[in-house]
């Protein structure tokens, strides 16, 4: 339930449907396990829990959705070994070399033969929609996985013109200035991790972990031209997180105090998850507004 990452996307306007209608639309593309020859299968599952029924769970202004993705695990090394075996058999039995096109055909043949016997791995991918304020947060650090979820959501909606948010001020410049001159927003404090990159082509990268970020060593890196592209922060002692230059929020850790607010609902699992979803949504929304304001606001 509690997101570990929040990859943000901005909606230019309201979706034009309510949560119930969206739930019905997503239910038309339910998750189905991989067929024997199918490498990947994705589909929607009940949002709040496997024991729930709604494909969209509404908590206040927040809509939770959940995608299940199953993938057949067929390591390249296994394919390569079988391909080499078959090529050796052809060369030994027919006394000729296997050319490139035939090798590619053998690779395809081996892949199709082995696919039904491959193990499967299943993962869930969640997203939270704030239709009123126009945000979608996907719980992943991977742009590719986020796009996969958004693509299926777009399929259900017919249209989903989300964009990666852009701010008036460059996050790279603002975060670099924080480490040089201070001036963090009220309620925000530095963590101990930072990634710095040289903007020049083939420039170096410095990754500092568990360090005092206002040290002279870090300052010298910035003065030499490196820029902060990823920075660990803490907000109001409620959330520790890393903000990326693309405004992604990674490695989120909600405080125990925040996560314990709904502890009295522990005996009712669905009620607890519903309450936690609302609390998480409100917290992420507030944090998103703070981050956007910090970087000069969202560009229209």
Q: What is the per-residue pLDDT across 162-183, written as a single tens digit (0 to 9) for each?
A: 999 999 999 999 999 999 988 8
Banded pLDDT at 199 (limits 50, 70, 90): confident
Report the number of distinct structural domains present in the chain. Answer: 3
CB 273 within 8 A of CB 299: no
Distance CA 176, CA 187 (A): 18
Q: pTM of this prediction? A: 0.86
Quick check: 239 pLDDT over 80?
Answer: yes
Residue 67, H or E segment: strand 62-73
Q: Look at residue 3 in the predicted model and tell me its pLDDT.
A: 97
What number of CA atoms fall less than 13 Å from residue 228's CA on the CB side? 30
Quick check: 115 pLDDT over 90?
Answer: no
Banded pLDDT at 261 (limits 50, 70, 90): very high
Q: What is the mean pLDDT of residues 202-214?
A: 88
Average pLDDT over the chain reads: 92
Residues 47 and 184 placed together within one structural domain of the fold: no
Q: Look at residue 183 in the predicted model and tell me its pLDDT.
A: 87
CB 149 within 8 A of CB 26: no
239 belongs to a structural domain: yes
2 belongs to a structural domain: no
| DSSP secondary structure letter of residue 60 | T
166 belongs to a structural domain: no
Quick check: 204 pLDDT over 90?
Answer: no
Residues 126 and 176 placed together within one structural domain of the fold: no
Tell me the H-state helices in the chain: 19-26, 76-94, 100-114, 143-157, 171-181, 216-223, 256-259, 269-294
| DSSP secondary structure letter of residue 48 | S
Q: What is the mean pLDDT of residues 223-245?
A: 94
Distance CA 250, CA 154 (A): 24
The CA-atom distances, in angstroms, between 268 and each of 52, 255, 277 are: 13, 22, 14
Q: In percent, how much of the chain has pLDDT > 90?
A: 74
CB 206 within 8 A of CB 226: yes
Residues 32 and 80 placed together within one structural domain of the fold: no
129 belongs to a structural domain: yes
58-103 pLDDT, tens per residue? Answer: 999 999 999 999 999 888 999 999 999 999 989 988 888 888 999 9
Quick check: 118 pLDDT over 90?
Answer: no
Structural domain for 60, as ranges: 7-72+117-157
164 belongs to a structural domain: no
Length of the chain: 300
CA nearest neighbour of 9 among 188, 139, 123, 125: 139
Residues 62 and 121 placed together within one structural domain of the fold: yes
CA nearest neighbour of 44 among 58, 28, 57: 28
132 belongs to a structural domain: yes
Residues with Cβ within 8 Å of 142's Cβ and at least 6 positions away in sequence, in order, are none
Phi, psi of 298 (to 5 degrees): -80, 130
Going by DSSP bridges, is the β-strand pair 7-10/40-45 parallel, antiparallel, or unpaired? unpaired
Quick check: 240 pLDDT over 80?
Answer: yes
Of the residues 127, 157, 187, which one is the last residue of a structural domain? 157
Residues 35 and 145 placed together within one structural domain of the fold: yes
- Distance, C-alpha 115 to centroid of its chain: 27
Residues 45 and 63 placed together within one structural domain of the fold: yes
Banded pLDDT at 200 (limits 50, 70, 90): confident
CB 119 within 8 A of CB 72: yes
Residues 151 and 26 placed together within one structural domain of the fold: yes
Residues with Cβ within 8 Å of 178's Cβ and at least 6 positions away in sequence, in order, are 184, 190, 228, 231
242 belongs to a structural domain: yes
């Amino acid at each position: 339930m509690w997101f570990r990452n929040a990859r943000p996307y901005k909606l230019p306007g309201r979706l034009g449907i309510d949560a119930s209608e969206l739930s019905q639309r997503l239910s038309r593309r339910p998750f189905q396990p991989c067929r024997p020859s199918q490498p990947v299968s994705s589909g929607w599952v009940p949002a709040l829990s496997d024991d729930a029924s709604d494909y969209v769970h509404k908590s206040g202004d927040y809509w939770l959705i959940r995608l299940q993705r199953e993938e057949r695990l067929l390591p390249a090394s296994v394919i390569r070994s079988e391909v080499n075996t078959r090529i050796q058999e052809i060369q030994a039995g027919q006394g000729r070399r296997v050319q490139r096109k035939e090798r590619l055909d053998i690779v395809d043949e081996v892949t199709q033969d082995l696919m039904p016997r491959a193990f499967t791995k299943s993962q869930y991918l969640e997203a939270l929609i704030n239709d009123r304020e126009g945000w979608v947060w996907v719980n992943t650090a991977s742009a590719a996985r986020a796009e996969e979820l958004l693509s299926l959501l777009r399929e259900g909606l017919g249209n989903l013109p989300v964009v990666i948010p852009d701010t008036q001020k460059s996050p790279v410049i603002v975060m670099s200035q924080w480490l040089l001159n201070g001036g963090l927003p009220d309620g925000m404090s530095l963590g101990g991790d930072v990634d710095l990159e040289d903007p020049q082509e083939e420039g170096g990268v410095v990754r500092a972990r568990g360090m005092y970020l206002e040290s002279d060593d870090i300052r010298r890196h910035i003065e030499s031209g490196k820029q902060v592209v990823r920075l660990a922060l803490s907000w109001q002692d409620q959330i520790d997180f890393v903000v990326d230059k693309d405004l992604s929020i990674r490695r989120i850790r909600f405080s125990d105090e925040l996560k314990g607010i709904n502890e009295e609902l522990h005996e009712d699992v669905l009620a607890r998850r519903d309450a936690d979803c609302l609390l998480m949504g409100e917290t992420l929304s507030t944090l998103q507004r703070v981050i956007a304001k910090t970087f000069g606001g969202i560009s229209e």
